[in-house]
Every structure is written in structure tokens, then in C-alpha cells.
Amino acid sequence: MPPIYIMAVITLAVSAGLWGGLVYAWSGCDRHYLWLLLLGLPLSAFVNLMVKKPLVVFVGQAANVPPSQGLATPLWFIIFLLLVPPVTEEAIKLAPLLLPLARRRINSRSGALWTGLALGVSFGLGEAMFVAYGVAQSPQYAAYPWYAFTGYFGERMMVCFCHGVMTAVVIAGLQQGKARAVAGYLAAVGLHALLNLGPVLGQLGLLSATAAGLSLVPSLVVFTLIFEWLRRRAAHGRDSQEVAAEVVYFRRSPDETPQ
């Protein structure tokens, strides 16, 4: 068995436990969202094999751009390569919404947030499997022990969360109406392109592999702030109802001075 598969199993278990646990705990222990974690698993393999790869090959051949030219690649093709994953993946991540099961909770801001996060994390888990499969096909990695792939572990843990936030942005927009849905989708595409910028520059040789990997860290900070903004916005309506339900047990009268 290729050694990366051991690390992939660990990554999937920890990532599903951590991000799934976060969705479960913060959504008020609603098990519905845990089922959503299964729906996006095959989508990464599907979009990579059936959409992205044929599209890039077709456009490259049509424009007569040879693959892997590094800095000699035309700028428009670099931008195209940068945008293909965000445009296709942010769309395919919404595919589970065709099922009534997945749409059930998108009737409130908090439902939209947790549905989006669960579907995005699910896509991220599937992507982790697909990436592991890709690495396992390269004989050069077969000689490494499984614990040499901790870079894969860290990267996939972060990317799972980022996928969740991006899908939450789209579905939060969708919950607000069609115009907001388009705005949410474009925002998610922009965020996704930002996330991929470091690795793309790394592939072109403009960034070292270490710098390309570290570029995920500031992105993670940005995504965490966006998640917190979405979470607070979703909680706002619920909080105002709960504050109304506040129980005052004791209030010292203003003229009563402490002894």
C-alpha cells in the first residue's frame, strides 16, 4: 500500500472529527449536518477528472499552449489556470443542494451557514482522498515513510476548513435571494483564487515550495475572520430573541447602596 494512504486515513479521521465536530457543536448538536458530510465526498474526483482536466487540455490544445512551460506560459493561460478550479469547484460543491435532504435547513442564516460549511468540508475530505490517490501514482513518493507526509496532513486540514467557508459564503448568499447568490458565488471564486495563488506561483517557479505552502497561513486567517463574521451574522437574529428571554433574578434598587 502506498505510504501516503496511511496519512490520508489519519487526515480524513482528524479533519472529519475536527470540522464535523465544530459543525455539530456550533449548530446546536444537529445531526442533520453530519449526514451532509457524506454528500460532497465524490465531487472532487468528478470535477477534476470530468471537468477541469478535459477543459484545460482542450483550451491548451486549441490555443496551442504546451503544458508545463513555467514562466514561458502566456499570462492569459496562467489566469485561466488560476480561475478554472475556483469557477468549477465552487459550482460543483452546490450540487448536493439538488437533494431535498441538503436543502432542508437553508431557511435561516444559521441553517445556510452550517449547511455550507458541512458541504464544503465534505468536498475538502473528498479532495484529500483524490490528492492522496494522485500522490500514490508517483513512484518517487513510494520510498518515503508515511510520517513524511505531514505537510499533506497540515495542508488538507486547512484546505478542508477553507472549502467549508467558501461554500458557506455561497449558500449564505443563496439564502438571501438570487442576486445575493450570484454575489456569494463570485466572492467564493475570488477567495478560492486567493487561496490557490501561492501554489500556482509555486508551480511557475515564482515562489519556493516552502513559501507556496506557507501562503496558506494568511489565507487561513482571512477565512477564519470571514467564518466568524458569518457566524455572528447568523447568530444575530437568534440572539435578539434570546436576549428577550433573559431572566432577571435580582436587581439591587438604585437607591440601595452597598454596605
Partner 1 sequence: MLVFKPRRSKGWIWLVAMALVIIGISAATVLPLLTLPADEVPRGVLVLMASIALFSVPTLALAAWFPTMRYELDEHTLTLRYGPVLTYRIPLHEIQTIRRRNLSISPWSSLRFPGIALFTIPYTDVGNVKMCATAAATGILLVETRKDKYGLTPADEEGLVAALRARIGG
| Least distance CB 11 / partner 1 (angstroms) | 11
- CA–CA distances in Å: residue 20 to residues 15, 97, 228: 8, 18, 17
Site for partner 1 in 64-93 (CB under 8 A): none
Q: Who contacts 176 (Cβ-Cβ below 8 Å, separation ≥6)?
A: 184
| Nearest Cα residue to 166 out of 144, 192, 195 | 192
Evaluate whether 151 touches 213 at the Cβ level (below 8 Å): yes
| Least distance CB 63 / partner 1 (angstroms) | 40
Stretch that binds partner 1, among 34-42, 134-142, 148-156, 158-166 (CB under 8 A): 148-156
DSSP 3-state of 104: coil
52: DSSP letter: I
Per CB under 8 A, the list member of 64, 68, 137, 259 interacting with partner 1 is: 259
The x, y and z cell numbers of residue 225, run together, are: 475572520
Q: Who contacts 209 (Cβ-Cβ below 8 Å, separation ≥6)?
A: 202
Size of residue set near partner 1 by CB under 8 A: 30
Evaluate whether 230 touches 169 at the Cβ level (below 8 Å): yes
Using the minimum distance from each CB to partner 1, give the nearer residue, 87 or 125.
125
| Least distance CB 69 / partner 1 (angstroms) | 31
Using the minimum distance from each CB to partner 1, give the nearer residue, 14 or 38.
14
| Least distance CB 106 / partner 1 (angstroms) | 23
Query: Phi/psi of residue 255, each to 5°?
Result: -85, 0
Using the minimum distance from each CB to partner 1, give the nearer residue, 70 or 249.
249
| Least distance CB 238 / partner 1 (angstroms) | 9
Q: Does 138 bind partner 1 (CB under 8 A)?
A: no
Alpha carbon 250 to its chain's center = 46
95: DSSP letter: G
Using the minimum distance from each CB to partner 1, give the nearer residue, 25 or 49.
25
Per CB under 8 A, the list member of 150, 208, 209, 214 interacting with partner 1 is: 150
Using the minimum distance from each CB to partner 1, give the nearer residue, 93 or 156.
156
For 17-40, the DSSP string reads HHHHHHHHHHTTS-THHHHHHHHT
Contact code string over 237-256 relative to partner 1, x by CB under 8 A: --x--xx--xxxxxxx----
Site for partner 1 in 14-53 (CB under 8 A): 14, 18, 25-26
Chain residues binding partner 1 by CB under 8 A are: 14, 18, 25-26, 144-145, 147-151, 153-154, 224-225, 228, 232, 235, 239, 242-243, 246-252, 258-259
